Amino acid sequence: MARLPILEFPDPRLRTVARPVAAVDARIRKLADDMLETMYEAPGIGLAATQVDVHERLLVLDISEEHSQPMVLVNPVILSSEGSQVYQEGCLSVPGIYADVTRAERIQVEALDRDGRHFALEAEGLLAVCIQHEMDHLAGKVFVDYLSPLKRELVKRKLAKQKRLADEGSEDAA
């Protein structure tokens, strides 16, 4: 397994619309395993292929605290959604930024698993939030897109400043 670099907002590659996975083969299984390792290491509860610069419809998640429920969703489709919930979201591609986002409370999803088998899933609460957040990534969307333009500009500036400080820090260390 390997850890993969995660793209950070406002990297334009995060805007790429992913194409369907053609076949769940050894390459896809390795990518899924590497994405799970990357997600656990970060640490995060979900990761979309878009975030590791692979533009195919694949996402991984695990909302358990014990890292005991890894899930792989290939070519996921939301069949239906109902209700709404507000959750304070974060994103590994937007480090240190948290903001309330309104999404469906309950969704029905269909996808292929790590073995290429078809499955259906009903999700609510945090799991539903996470799947919707990851599927947004596959469509080239980031959660800060739901914020006002002004707030999004503030996020960009804060990230640029964080990056500047981090770069200065690593210069001092060198």
Q: Which residues bind ligand GNR (CB under 6 A)?
A: 44-48, 51, 87, 89-93, 129-130, 133-134, 137
**Cα–Cα dist 57/20, whole Å:** 5
Residue in the shown chain whose Cβ atom is closest to Ni ion: 91
Only segment of 24-32, 56-64, 84-92, 124-132 that touches Ni ion (CB under 5 A): 84-92
User: Which residue, 28 or 91, is less far from Ni ion as judged by CB?
Assistant: 91
Q: Look at residue 54 and give the partner it binds from Ni ion, ligand GNR, none, a contact being a CB closer than 5 to 8 Å depending on partner kind.
A: none
In the residue annotation, 41 being an active-site residue is answered as no
| Shortest Cβ 119–ligand GNR spacing (Å) | 21
Q: 36-68: b or e for each residue (b if 16 or more CB lie within 10 Å)?
A: bbbbbeeebbbbbbbbbebbbbbbbbbeeeeee
Structure tokens at 15: 């805007």
Is the distance from CB of 107 to CB of 65 less than 8 angstroms? no
Instruction: Give me the catalytic one of 41, 56, 134, 171.
Output: 134
| Amino acid code (one letter) for 125 | G
C-alpha distances out from residue 167 to 28, 161, 174, Å: 34, 10, 11
According to the binding rule CB under 5 A, does residue 91 interact with Ni ion?
Answer: yes
For ligand GNR, the closer CB: 44 or 76? 44
**Which partner in ligand GNR, Ni ion, none is near 57 (CB below 5 to 8 A by kind)?**
none
Listed ranges 26-34, 57-65, 85-93, 109-117: which one lies at the site for Ni ion (CB under 5 A): 85-93
Residues ≥6 apart with Cβ < 8 Å to 78: 107, 108, 109, 131, 132, 135
Residue nearest ligand GNR, Cβ-based? 44
Could you tell me if 89 and 44 are in contact, meaning their C-beta atoms sit under 8 angstroms apart? no
**Residues marked as catalytic:** 134
Residues that bind Ni ion (CB under 5 A): 91
